[in-house]
Amino acid sequence: MITTLAGGVGAARFLEGLTRVAKEDISIIVNTGDDIELYGLHISPDIDIVIYTLAGRVDGEKGWGIKGDTFHCLGGLQKYGYETWFMLGDKDLATHIHRTILLRKGLKLSEITDRERIALGIKANIIPMTDDKVETILMTEKGEIHFQEYMVKSKTQEKVLQIKLKGVEKARPAPGVIDSIKKASKIIICPSNPIVSIGTILSIQEVRESLNETKAKIIGISPVIAGKTVKGPADKLMSSLGMEVSAYGVAKLYSDFLDAFVIDLVDENLKERIESLGVKVFVTDTIMRGLKEKVELARFTLEATGV
Ligand code: GDP
């Protein structure tokens, strides 16, 4: 079994390639720290991005939401005076309504996610990191805000002073998380935000411990290329927290359990420094422009885990 740790867009693009080339079963452990409740509905953005992408439903241009979706319901809510900064499409809302109904019936997020991926014909196992509530709260100069408010409402304008993962100390891994880390032959840390996606999953103590204990080879792909992210605020967040914004900075965050790291051609000069962390480095083109590059990066990463 190949087990992966995933955030949203970067991970989903990589997984589109991986699911096409992997011969083994795949388990995807997904961040839920940026889940949010809006209009009484439970939204799990990273789970939905991964599921929509693997089901071929994602809006490829944006990397999230459903292709061809409309926003009539939000328009209606706006007329009643609701805030509508989080772009929930009409088709997308069906997912959130379904999830919320099942949560109210007492099902766990992991059970609901499994039903969702089966309903959409996805073979890979998709597991939320936890069934417990973990909330990514950013401390900014203007006070505390939810990660989605920072990311979507204020378009990452605020200066972030600190990040708080509310509830993480008590959060237990969802059923299947630890097992899929222990039983994997290979573990892949997807190119995702190392602070608020992968970092959040790693903040669940048992997850980090089992990554340190597993016999599986663990390889990551850098989401930071030439000191910048391809998209999203990981670079800004790393710099606010005083980290080096580079593939080296990311490798350092994972170095206690990482065996190998895939970095981009333009970062080849960082190879020696990263290898001084005890992590073997592989260099290739890591920008996933289309399906061909996604498949090639997945194949390269799998081959690298054999070394
Ligand atoms: P976000 O930061 O909240 O949007 O969280 P995600 O976990 O979705 O992470 C996005 C990460 O994916 C960013 O750090 C991007 O740099 C990375 N990413 C997106 N597309 C690519 C790509 O084509 N190649 C690589 N190497 N990274 C990518």
Confirm or reject: Cβ of 231 under 6 Å from ligand 1: yes
The response to whether residue 53 sits with its C-beta less than 6 Å from ligand 1 reads no
- Ligand 1 mutation pick, 192, 261, 288, max ligand atoms within 8 A of CB: 192
Domain positions in the chain are 2-134+170-304, 135-165
CB-ligand 1 contact for 233 (6 Å cutoff): yes
Question: Is ligand 1 within 6 A of the CB of residue 288?
Answer: yes
260-273, pLDDT tens digit by residue? 999 999 999 999 99
Per-residue pLDDT of the chain (307 residues; tens, 9 = 90+): 999 999 999 999 999 999 999 999 999 999 999 999 999 999 999 999 999 999 999 999 999 999 999 999 999 999 999 999 999 999 999 999 999 999 999 999 999 999 999 999 999 999 999 999 999 999 998 899 999 999 998 899 888 999 999 999 999 999 999 999 999 999 999 999 999 999 999 999 999 999 999 999 999 999 999 999 999 999 999 999 999 999 999 999 999 999 999 999 999 999 999 999 999 999 999 999 999 999 999 999 999 997 4
From 230, 253, 262, mutation site for ligand 1 pocket: most ligand atoms within 8 A of C-beta: 230
The verdict on the CB of residue 234 being under 6 Å from ligand 1 is: yes
Contacts of 108 (CB under 8 A, 6+ apart): 131, 174, 175
Res 64: pLDDT? 94
Q: Evaluate whether the domain defined by 2-134+170-304 bears CATH number 3.30.70.260.
A: no
Q: CB–CB of 207/32 below 8 Å?
A: no
Reported in sequence order, the residue ranges of the chain that DSSP labels E, i.e. its strands, are 2-6, 26-30, 36-38, 41-43, 125-128, 135-140, 143-146, 160-166, 186-189, 217-221, 224-225, 228-229, 260-264, 280-284
| Separation of alpha carbons 26 and 227, rounded Å | 30
